[in-house]
Each structure stands twice: as structure tokens, then as C-alpha cells.
Amino acid sequence: MDKPIRGFSALGGLPLRVRPVPFEPAYGLLGRVAVRHGHTSTSEFISEMAIGIPNFVHEIENGRRLVELALLSGVPETRIRASTLCVDENGAMFIGSELISARVSNRISCGAGRICPGCLRVDLKECAGPMACRPHRRTWWGLTAVTSCPLHGLLLIDACPACGVQLARGQASPRFCRCGCDLADQGSVSLEPADLVADRYLVGRLGGVDRVGHPLLDRMPFQTAALAMLRIGRVTLAGARGLSKKGDNVEPAMQARMASLGFRTSESSR
């Protein structure tokens, strides 16, 4: 666990706070704090505040300096850590108590600041606090294993529908693209319920929806289970040809379909 930089706590908390919300990763919380102080970019906000920690935004995005973020935001460090992808002293990756991977891998985290427009609309309608600070990121939006929102049945959006630019994590609010497009007003590709099974299982392991047990996958780390579903589904769909394909990069809707097929196949074969 990080130790705060000497003298950092003397800065105290920031003058304006945001309400804690479930399943928000550290970089999402920092973004909402930036929005609360009138900024659209987390890096610009940190630069103006003269925090004094080199690469602070990068550190937060990689699950470090959570103690300092807790001091700044007023949100308990344990709560931030529970929804943030972190690496322990043994090199294992966790989100809260959920083991994501037994070793560090750069394939687990998605570089884009993906969003679900359905979730953003719910945030605006149901969350408390200033309207600008209501939309918030979910920890599973940043995981490559998850491609859809099982709550709304939509593919996650990784690029702005208006300008085509990849959405960035450094954009303080998940609601807006840098071009000004309101992502809460946008649509996304709807998936059939059968193709949401894998993401529902994975998000359930993180507590975002009701958890569905699986006697085989439950014994695996999160990322291993995700890859197992995808590969079993690919072979089931394509036969022996599926084994010859290199890598696991497939179009998001197809990834959701293959992984869901893999979940059902491995469940029925136990």
C-alpha cells in the first residue's frame, strides 16, 4: 500500500468535493473532482493545483498514489482501492478482493476511456449532487475482457460518434468528448441477451450485477476466466479452425458472442 509523500497531507483536502459512488475507479474519481473544480482535463487540473507529485495522473491511472487521492478527495482510500485495478507486492493484479491476474499484464487494461451511454443517462437522472458531477466511470469499462454493459445490453463506446476520435481517460467527465459531443445523448449497438452472458458473469464477479456462479470459471483469476470463455467459444463456433487463429483480438460484438458461447459450453460440459 502506498505511503503518502512527506508533507503532502499538510495540503489538506480540496475545497470542493464530490459524492462517492459505487464501482468508480481512482482515475474516474480524480476526473469528477476536476469537473467539480471547473476543468475538462484531469492533467490540466492537476497542473493548476500544483500537487507536486510527478506524473500524478499516470500514477492514479495505474492504481498508485491512492492515499494522496484519498487526502485530496475526502473519499476513504479503502473505498477507492476496492474499485481500482491495483498491483500488490507480489505482482498480482486485483480489483478489491477479486484476483484479476496472478501477474502484471498490459493486456488487461483498455487504453480508451470507454463508456456506456445508458449508464450516463441513469447517472444524470438518479445520482445526487451537481449535475456536471453525476456521470461517473465504472471500473469494468476499463477492462479489455468486458465489451458490453450487461445492465443496458449495449456495447461500450470507445470512440466519439461525432468526431471519430478515441475517447480518452484523461477527459475529466465521461459524458463529453473533447469535441464537445454529449455522449449521454448517443446510442450504441444493442446485443441479444444470449450475447451478454459472459459480460454479465464478469461484471458480476466485480459486484456490478448479481453474481452467477460457474464451477470451472470461478476457480480461475478474472482474466484467465475471460480468456477461457473466449477461446472455448471461438473453437465451438469455428471448430478446429479456431485454434489456428493467433491472438484474441476480435471485434467487440463478436467477442461478446464468442465469450458467451464459451460460458454456456463450459457450463454444460461439466
C-alpha distances (whole Å) from 207 to each of 110, 118, 137, 179, 202 are 20, 18, 15, 33, 9
Cα angle vertex 238, ends 116, 203, to 5°? Answer: 25
pLDDT tens for each residue of 165-203: 999 999 999 999 999 999 999 999 999 999 999 999 999
In three-state secondary structure terms, 133 is helix
Q: Are 170 and 41 in contact (CB under 8 A)?
A: yes
C-alpha distances (whole Å) from 185 to each of 38, 161, 188 are 22, 10, 10
Model confidence at 33: pLDDT above 90: yes
C-alpha distances (whole Å) from 106 to each of 7, 101, 125, 168 are 33, 11, 35, 17
Q: Which residues contact 144 (CB under 8 A, 6 or more apart)?
A: 107, 108, 109, 110
Among 31, 139, 33, which Cα is nearest to 84's?
A: 139
In three-state secondary structure terms, 100 is strand
Model confidence at 14: pLDDT above 80: no
pLDDT at site 239: 73
pLDDT at site 10: 41
Q: Cβ-count burial of 99 within 10 angstroms (0-12 exposed, 13-18 middle, 19+ buried)?
A: middle
Q: Rg (Cα) of the chain, in Å, rounded? A: 19
Among 77, 66, 87, which Cα is nearest to 5's?
A: 66
C-alpha distances (whole Å) from 192 to each of 58, 130, 144, 152, 195 are 37, 35, 20, 11, 5
pLDDT at site 78: 97
* Positive or negative torsion for Cα 132, 187, 158, 138: positive
pLDDT tens for each residue of 73-127: 999 999 999 999 999 999 999 999 999 999 999 999 998 999 999 999 999 999 9
pLDDT tens for each residue of 201-254: 999 999 999 999 999 999 999 999 999 999 999 999 887 565 555 556 789 999
pLDDT at site 132: 97
**Integer Cα distance of 160 and 171 in angstroms:** 12
DSSP-derived secondary structure letter, 172: S
DSSP-derived secondary structure letter, 81: H
**Could you tell me the three cell numbers for 239?**
471448430
Tell me phi and psi for residue 171, to 5 degrees.
Answer: -70, 120
Model confidence at 7: pLDDT above 50: no
In three-state secondary structure terms, 101 is strand
Among 201, 210, 207, which Cα is nearest to 230's?
A: 201
Q: For the chain, give every domain's residue range.
A: 8-88, 193-265
